[in-house]
Amino acid sequence: MPGPSVAAFSAAMRAMREERGVSVADAAAATRGVSATRLAAVEEGRREPDFVLIMRLARTLGVKSSEFVSRGEILDPAMPLADDVILAALGRAELHKGDDRPGVLYVTLVEHLGLRKGSVTSRRLRPRLRELVAAGDVEEFRRRGYGLLTLTHKGNRRLKDAEPVALPEAPQHRRWREARAAATERISGCRGDVRSALEGAAALLADEDATSDAWYALAGQLERACRRVGSATHCLREWAEPGDAAADVPSDEHRGRRNYRLWDHTAHGSGRPDDAGSE
Amino acid sequence: MPPRRQSTPRSAEHAALGEAIRLARVERGLSQEALADAVPMHVTYLGGLERGVRNPSYDGLVRLARALKVTPGALVGRADELLKTQS
C-alpha cells in the first residue's frame, strides 16, 4: 500500500489551519515548541514534520492528528480515494444544497472533496464513482441535460453505518470564511468611502450652482458605499458560522449581502443571489 | 554516542502511538525484528517507538504504516482512539 507524500500532508496541514482562520504566527504562538519559521517551512515542504509537531498542531487547531493524515491521503493524487470518503462527500453535498431535490453535479462533489477540478482528479474519481454506481451505492441520472449524482438508499445506509470520516472544509464554510476575511480587511476603507461621499454631499449642498449630473453621481456613490459597509457588516456580524450538519441558506432579504466579490463591480449592489445551491 | 535508553514515554500521545504500532504489529503476527527488517528501520528504534520514547518523522510513520499494510491515517487514528479511551 503506497503512503501519501509529505507534500500532500503539508498541503493538508496548511488547508486545515487556513480553514480555521488561524495565521501561521498565531498557530505557532499557541503551539508549544513550534516556531513560526519551522511551521512555515513544514507547510511549504522545506522541512519534514514529526509526530510531536503533528500532535501539538492538531491540539492547537482542535482536530485529531489522524485528520491531518487522512486529509493528506485525500489530497494526494497518488492515493486511491476511499469509498467512505466519496459517499460522505456526496451525502454532505446533497445536504448542503438546501432543497429537497436529489442530485448534485460532479463538480460540486469535487469541491466537497477539497480537490481541484481537472484531469488528475477525474482519473482518480471517475473510476471510483463507476464502481460505486455498479455497487448500487450511487446513482447517476440526468435532469434538464445536467448529469447529476445522488446517494441511493443503499448508499445512505452504508454511509450511516460507516465510521465518520474527516472531510475537507465544506464550500459553504469556505465562502463564509473568505467573506469574513475580505470584510475584515475592507470594512474601514468602505466606511471611509461613505465618509468621503458625505463630504461630497456637504460640498454640493453648499454649492448653489451644482448640476443635476453632480447630484446623480453623488447618489450612486453614496448608495454603493453604504451597501458595501452593509454587506461587510453582515459578513462580519450577522452571518453565523455554518456548521456541517445543515445547509447554510441566507434568508431572502439577506441574499446578495454575502457576495463580497461584487463590492468592486456592482452599480446597484443588489447583485446576484448567493450561489447556495449547486446548479 | 547513541542516545541514552529512555523508559518514560515522551507524552501520552507518543505512548498511544507506540501502543497502536505494537497492536498492529502483533495482529500481523510479526516480531519486532521482522517488522524492523520490513520497514526497514533499526530494531532498537522500533522498540523505542513502541515504548513511546522516540518521535517519528512523518516519513517514518508512512514507511512503518506501509510495512504494517495499513494507511498512515488508520495507524494514527488508532492512536487517537487509544488516547480517547484512556482519558
In CATH, what number is assigned to the domain containing residue A112?
1.10.10.10
On whether residue A279 sits in a domain, the answer given is no
Question: Looking at chain B from residue 3 to 62, which residues have their Cβ under 8 Å from any Cβ of chain A?
Answer: 10-11, 13-14, 17, 55-59, 61-62
Instruction: State how far the alpha carbon of A177 is from the alpha carbons of A12, A39, A181, B17, in Å.
Output: 17, 22, 6, 33
CB contact under 8 A, A3 and B65: yes
Set of cell numbers at residue A219:
447618489
Burial class (CB in 10 A: 0-12, 13-18, 19+), A241: exposed
Number of domains comprising chain A: 3
State whether residue B77 sits within 8 Å of chain A by CB.
yes
* A181 lies in some domain: yes
Residue whose C-alpha is closest to residue A180's, from A233, A137, A227: A233
| In the predicted structure, residue A218 carries a pLDDT above the cut 70 | yes
Q: Are residues A127 and A190 in the same domain?
A: no
Pick from A55, A76, A79, A81 the residue to mutate for testing the B interface (most B CBs within 10 Å).
A55
Domains observed in chain B: 12-86 (1.10.260.40)
- How far, in Å, CA of B39 to CA of B42, rounded? 9
The residue from A161, A179, A194 where one domain ends is A161
Domain-terminating residue out of A161, A191, A216: A161
Domain-embedded: residue A137 = yes
Residues A66 and A112 in one domain: no
CB A96 within 8 A of CB A170: yes
Interface test with B, best of A66, A70, A75, A76 (most B CBs within 10 A): A66
| pLDDT value of position A279 | 36
> What is the pLDDT at residue A250?
86
Q: Which amino acid is at A127?
A: P
Q: What is the CATH number of the domain that holds A44?
A: 1.10.260.40
Same-domain check for residues A49 and A107: no
Contact of A277 with A96, CB cutoff 8 Å: no
- Closest Cα in chain A, distance from residue B9 (Å): 12
Q: Give the per-residue pLDDT at A272.
A: 43
Complex ipTM: 0.82
- Mean pLDDT throughout A91-96? 95
Distance, CA of A70 to CA of A93 (rounded, Å): 19
Residue of B54, B61, B63, B76 to mutate for A, most A C-beta atoms under 10 A: B76
Same domain, yes or no: A65 and A103: no
Residues present in chain B in total: 87
Residues A28 and A99 in one domain: no
Task: Give A274's pLDDT tier (boundaries 50, 70, 90).
Answer: very low
Closest listed residue to residue A87, CA positions, set A170, A158, A172: A158
- In-domain check, residue A19: yes
What letters, b where the CB count within 10 A reaches 16 and e where it falls short, cover A16-26? bbbbeebebee
Residues B32/B25, Cβ–Cβ less than 8 Å: yes
Chain A residue with minimum CA distance to B74: A66
| pLDDT of res. A270 | 42
Q: Considering all CA atoms of chain B, what is the largest pairwise distance in Å, rounded to the nearest integer?
A: 38
Q: Report the predicted TM-score, pTM, of the whole model to 2 decimal places.
A: 0.77
Parent domain of A182: 171-262
- Between B11, B58, B73, which is nearest A73 by CB? B73
Q: Which of A22, A41, A75 is the last residue of a domain?
A: A75
**How far is residue B29's CA from residue A47's CA, in Å, rounded to a whole number?**
35
pLDDT for A200 equals 94
Grid coordinates standing for A57? 498542531
- pLDDT for A98 equals 86
Q: Is residue A274 part of a domain?
A: no
Say what the pLDDT of residue B1 is: 61
d(CA A1, CA A32): 34
Radius of gyration for the alpha carbons in chain B, expressed in angstroms and rounded: 12
Domain-embedded: residue A276? no
What sign does the CA torsion over A117, A121, A125, A127 have?
positive
Q: What percent of chain A has pLDDT over 90?
A: 63
Is the pLDDT reported for residue A223 higher than 90?
yes
Q: Is A17 contained in some domain?
A: yes
Residue A55, pLDDT above cutoff 90: no
- Do A62 and A88 lie in one domain? The reply is no
Measured between CB atoms, does A252 come within 8 Å of chain B? Answer: no
Q: What is the pLDDT of residues B28-71, one digit of tens each?
A: 999 999 999 999 999 999 999 999 999 999 989 989 998 998 88
Residue pLDDT, tens place only, A139-179: 999 999 999 999 999 999 999 998 778 788 999 999 999 99
- The distance of A70 to chain B (nearest Cα, Å) reads 5
Query: Would residue A1 count as lying in a domain?
Result: no
Per-residue confidence (pLDDT) for residue A253, from 0 to 100: 79
Average pLDDT of chain A is 88
